[in-house]
Structure 1
Amino acid sequence: MNIRVMTIEDFDQVHALWMSIKGFGIRSVDDSKEGIERFLKRNPTTSVVAEEDGKIVGAILCGHDGRRGCLYHVCVDVNHRMRGIGKAMVVFTMEALKKEGINKVSLIAFTQNDIGNAFWNEIGWTKREDLNYYDFTLNEANITAFIQ
């Protein structure tokens, strides 16, 4: 298993991985090749893929705003789960964020994502109960589709 920095050349395999995961939310603009390329240019060292025999079996988009890191689209291929790949990728991203002086990391997990929520709890992340999450859509064309 090779854990390494994600590049735009990984897009086709990463996108195929996303599309293989039931319940995964894909945004029409942000998760396009152009959107991911923009994200990776802004955050060139913090996103990660897990590769086995030349095939990407896990991925995390990770970036920061100079103050707080954020993980997006954390996933491992269903046939490769329970082998420590997710945790290894999270550790990789957190080390990359530390090198850039980031001291806190957050993520959003859908409430109905039982597997994901169990994973975050298992590896020691804290579910916040003391705040509300708000967002505002600037581009109505950037819709989320959930993989069936």
Structure 2
Amino acid sequence: MNPPTLRPMTMADYDGVIALMHQTPGVSVREADSREAIQRYLLRNPGLSFVAEDGAALVGCIMSGHDGRRGYLQHLLVVPAYRERGVASALIEACLAGLEAIGILKSHIDVLATNETGQRFWARRGWILRTDLRRYSFVQSGGDNV
């Protein structure tokens, strides 16, 4: 296997990223992951989401953005055959470097309570589980809020 290369995610990557999401246990695909929503996200946060490729094969991805104060990392995914090879760390560092370049120094990641693998992954990398707050969500359209 060649070392994967990283590049900014584009809408041309959408189908591959969604397929990767569907194949990854612990990751949910929701209405907010529609083609239109992801396009808005990438346009609002240019150069902050990345894919990892081995040749023409998509082997990892991560999305990130910000609210002007805090960064938010989402959907870190790496194909199992490429795990434990530094791909996830490289994707995370690309996002954090991009956020830092625009003055965003603190970032968050949401991990489903049922995703124990994800929880262990982030904890091993020094990310701190916040127990002092609760996140509340609301869907304007009345759609699924899980």
The answer for the alignment partner of 2:83 in structure 1 is 81
2:27 is aligned with 1:21: no
1:129 equivalent in alignment to 2:101: no
The residue number in structure 1 matching 2:8 is: 5
Mapped to 2, the partners of 1:99 and 1:84 lie a distance apart of 22
Does the C-alpha gap of structure 1 residues 83 and 113 become closer, same or farther in structure 2, counting only changes over 3 Å? same
Supply the distance in 2 between the matched residues of 1:119 and 1:48 (Cα, whole angstroms).
19
Amino acid at match of 1:68: R
Q: What does the per-residue CA deviation read over 1:4-56, in whole Å, with 9 as the maximum and x for residues that have no partner? A: 1111111111111111112320112x211111111100011101111112111
SS at match of 2:52: strand
Instruction: Supply the distance in 2 between the matched residues of 1:86 and 1:130 (Cα, whole angstroms).
Output: 27
**Residues 50 and 57 in structure 1, CA contact (< 8 A), matched pair in contact too:** yes
1:112-145: CA deviations, max 9, x gaps?
Answer: 111111110111111112112212221233566x
Give the percent of matched residue pairs that are identical in Structure 1 and Structure 2.
38
In structure 2, the residue matched to 1:50 is: 52
Matched residue type, 1:88: A
Change (3 A) 1:141 1:131: closer
Structure of higher RCO (CA pairs closer than 8 Å, 6+ residues apart): 1
Name 2:98's counterpart in structure 1: 96
Structure 2 length-normalised TM: 0.91
Q: Which residue of 1 aligns with 2:33?
A: 31
User: Which whole-Å CA distance do the structure 1 matches of 2:106 and 2:89 have between them?
Assistant: 17
For 1:101, give the aligned amino acid.
G
Normalising by structure 1, we get a TM-score of: 0.90
SS at match of 2:75: strand
Deviation by residue 1:64-111 (Cα, 9 ceiling, x = unmatched): 011111011111112221111111100100000001111210011011
Q: What count of residue pairs does the alignment treat as equivalent?
A: 143
Cα 1:24/1:143, change in 2 over 3 Å: same
